[in-house]
Chains A and B, each alone.
Chain A
Amino acid sequence: MGNIWTIARKEFVSYFTSPVAYVAITVLFVVVGLKFFVVDDFFVTRRADLRSFFELLPYFFVFYLPAIAMRLVAEEKRQGTFELLATLPVADRDVILGKYLGAVGFLVVTLLATLPYPLLVSFLGDPDPGTIYGGYLGLLFVGLVFLAFSVMASTWTGSQIVAYIIGSMLSALFFLLDLLMGIFGEATRKIAEYASVQAHFASFSKGVIDTRDIVFFVSLVALALTLATFSLNRRRWN
């Protein structure tokens, strides 16, 4: 447990010792702001509604979170620090969990950085608090899944770019699975709907918190992180 915490803290802090964190959060702020004020014309429509805010962010996360997680393992492999980390008395599982939690910390900071928007809307109008809490919880779970995919992708390569592309593709695939599978007809659509991240996110953003959705997200995270641990471990096989 101590090792997981040590690694998580190091990864979290290192986001802020480089420009990455500041650039990422600025981009987030600008993109969300543009959508909110320019595209949706918040002040013209005068609707105290955060629906488009919660619709946009998961799409944004598809591109944003893989960029946050891509370096976690890939960069260690490229720099050679992985050889050191892998020869310290730390289990592969702890390495993965620590790195994942470091990135999750950054996800939480990201979510906190978006708070001005719902606060502004609440100040100006009277939005449904249920959809705000539900929406944020949903965003957190979607983020957890995308980060887990991206950490997994990062263990597969020594290149951050490759890790980023794979992470984004996997996130996009799972997010839009029901849309993609819809073209194959009704039967596959039903299955795809169960595996689609967006379908499960949708009920959160309506303010409905269903344990089945939570189980779904947690299972995806567990699966991706298990595969990531496996991938680190693979070099120890013959």
Chain B
Amino acid sequence: MNEPLKGETMIEVSHLNKRYGHLRAVNDVSFQVRKGEIVGFLGPNGAGKSTVLKIMTCFLPPTSGTVRIGGLDVGDHPLEVRKKFGYLPESAPLYLDMTAYDYLKYVGSLRGLSGKKLEQRTQQVAGSVGITKVLGQVTGTLSKGYRQRVCLAQALIHDPEFLILDEPTVGLDPNQVVEIRSLIKELGKDRTVILSTHILPEVLATCDRIIIIHKGRIVADGTARELERKVASSATVIVRFKKTDTAGSQADLKARLEAVLSAASAEGTVTPRSTPDADEWEFKVSVSGEKDLRPAILQAFARESWPLLEVRRDVLDIEGLFRTLTQE
């Protein structure tokens, strides 16, 4: 479960604070990103994700603390630092009266490209985000999904070392979300990517590492597995039965499961859960410690004639973690 060892530190954020008047938007945030990582910044709306990204992109100054990108402080070398990254801001801003092609060329030339190279990169990024067909269209006439992609293309035009993507899939339909996510994964193969989102499956689908931020503070930082183990001081097993005449009542089943628990000398709780199917019963068996109860349960019920439908370990309970960490 060690994450693969990647390159040197690309981004170093230390003790970052940002106040807006009395509001403390970012509170002592520190983290590092190594070359080649895809890091997901996860948090509910208003957690301070965008503010951190805006400070990293030299758009806003921090109240205190430092951000170093490729060894350069963003406050001292804003122009140098800005050359290194591509940035997709939260609202995917475009000049709505320009064609996608002109827009990309405009950003490209402000990125220092010109002539043949600019033309070549424009076509290349348009191809890689799938907007070649709409290049000649005025961006104001494009759908939300295409606008998002045009803006993503803009972030890639100078083939940056790393990418900062603020809510890259917001407002897209499910198919587009899948496309953009796989594109991000593809891009992350040879770049460092930081993306922010409030959608948990998004980070699970795309990121090597998750940083959970809440009320301006980092509340968790690690790979999905690491975070899961952090919460999973208890192993959870979901057991599902079919209701039949011989099965007895729900209370009987609960008692049986508790008996299995005590037979295995494990401490834990059995809680009934609601199921979508009216003719099924489901229980959540939580046990403290790492002990896997599945064999014990299977054995116990194999001897009876109760129709056991499913015994599964509730693995990825990051959703739970996310809720625990971000509720107050």
Report which of B79, B90, B106, B112 forms a contact with A91, defined as CB distance below 8 A: B79
Q: Which of A50-96 contact B (CB under 8 A)?
A: 79-91
Stretch at the interface among A10-18, A102-110, A165-173: A10-18
Within B285-310, the residues touching A (CB, 8 Å) are none
**Which secondary structure dominates chain A's binding surface?**
helix
Choose one: B61, B97, B109; the contact of A2 (CB below 8 Å): B109
How far is it, in angstroms, between the C-alpha of A110 and the C-alpha of B95 when the chains are bound? 24
Per-residue CB contact flags for chain B residues 95-129 toward chain A (1 = under 8 Å, else 0) read 11110000000110111101000000000000000
Q: How far is the CB of A93 from chain B (nearest CB, A)?
A: 11
Write the chain B residue with the least CB distance to A75: B95
Q: A26 contacts the other chain (Cβ, under 8 Å)?
A: no
> Which of A84, A86, A90 counts the most B-chain CB atoms under 10 A from its CB?
A84
| A212, CB-defined interface residue at 8 Å | no
Query: Quick one: which of A10, A17, A89 has the most chain B CB within 10 A?
Result: A89
Q: Is residue B31 within 8 Å, beta carbon to beta carbon, of the partner chain?
A: no
CB pair A90–B61 under 8 Å, yes or no, is no
CA–CA, A145 to B263, complex, Å?
A: 89
Q: Is the CB of B112 within 8 A of A83?
A: no
A-side contacts of B43, CB under 8 Å? none
Hey, what's the 0/1 contact readout for B54-78 against A, CB within 8 Å counting as 1? 1001111101000000000000001
How does the 8 Å CB contact mask read for A1-27 relative to B, with 1 for contact and 0 for none? 011001100100010011000000000
Contact residues on A (Cβ < 8 Å of other chain), bracket = 20 to 34
Contact, CB under 8 Å: B154 / A84: yes
Q: From residue A149, how far is it (CB to closest CB) to chain B in Å?
A: 24
Check if B82 sits within 8 Å of A89, measured CB to CB: yes
Q: Is there a chain A Cβ closer than 8 Å to B230's Cβ?
A: no
Q: Let me know if A237 is at the binding interface, CB within 8 A.
A: yes
The answer to the question of B87 belonging to the interface, with a C-beta cut-off of 8 Å to chain A, is yes
B110–A88 CB distance below 8 A: yes
* Contact of B271 with A by CB under 8 A: no
The docked-state distance in angstroms from the alpha carbon of A70 to that of B80 is 31
Of all chain A residues, the one with the shortest Cβ separation from B78 is A236
Which chain A residues in 199-238 approach chain B with CB under 8 Å?
Answer: 235-238
* Residues of B with C-beta under 8 A to A237: 61
B-chain residues with CB within 8 Å of residue A79 when the two chains form the complex: 93, 95-96
Taken together as a complex, chains A and B put the C-alpha atoms of A35 and B148 apart, in Å, by 50
What chain A residues lie within 8 Å of B94 (beta carbons)? Answer: 81
Q: Is the Cβ of A238 less than 8 Å from the Cβ of B63?
A: yes
Q: Contacts A3-B110, A80-B89, A84-B154 given: A89-B83 contact, CB under 8 Å?
A: yes
Check B97 against A14 for contact (C-beta < 8 Å).
Answer: yes
Q: Which of B79, B93, B111, B114 contacts A81 (CB under 8 A)?
A: B93
Contact indicator A84/B87 (Cβ below 8 Å): yes
Q: Do residues B98 and A14 form an inter-chain contact, with CB atoms below 8 A?
A: yes
**Contact, CB under 8 Å: B110 / A83:** no
- The answer to whether A89 and B93 touch across the interface, beta carbons within 8 angstroms, is no
- CB of A7 within 8 A of CB of B110, answer yes
Contacts of A18 in B (CB 8 A): 97
CB pair A10–B59 under 8 Å, yes or no, is no
10 closest A-B pairs by beta carbon, nearest first, are A80-B93, A81-B93, A89-B82, A87-B57, A80-B91, A89-B83, A83-B89, A6-B109, A88-B110, A89-B79
- 14 A–B pairs (Cβ distance < 8 Å), ordered by A: A2-B109, A14-B98, A79-B96, A80-B90, A80-B91, A81-B94, A84-B89, A84-B93, A84-B107, A84-B151, A87-B59, A89-B82, A90-B79, A238-B63
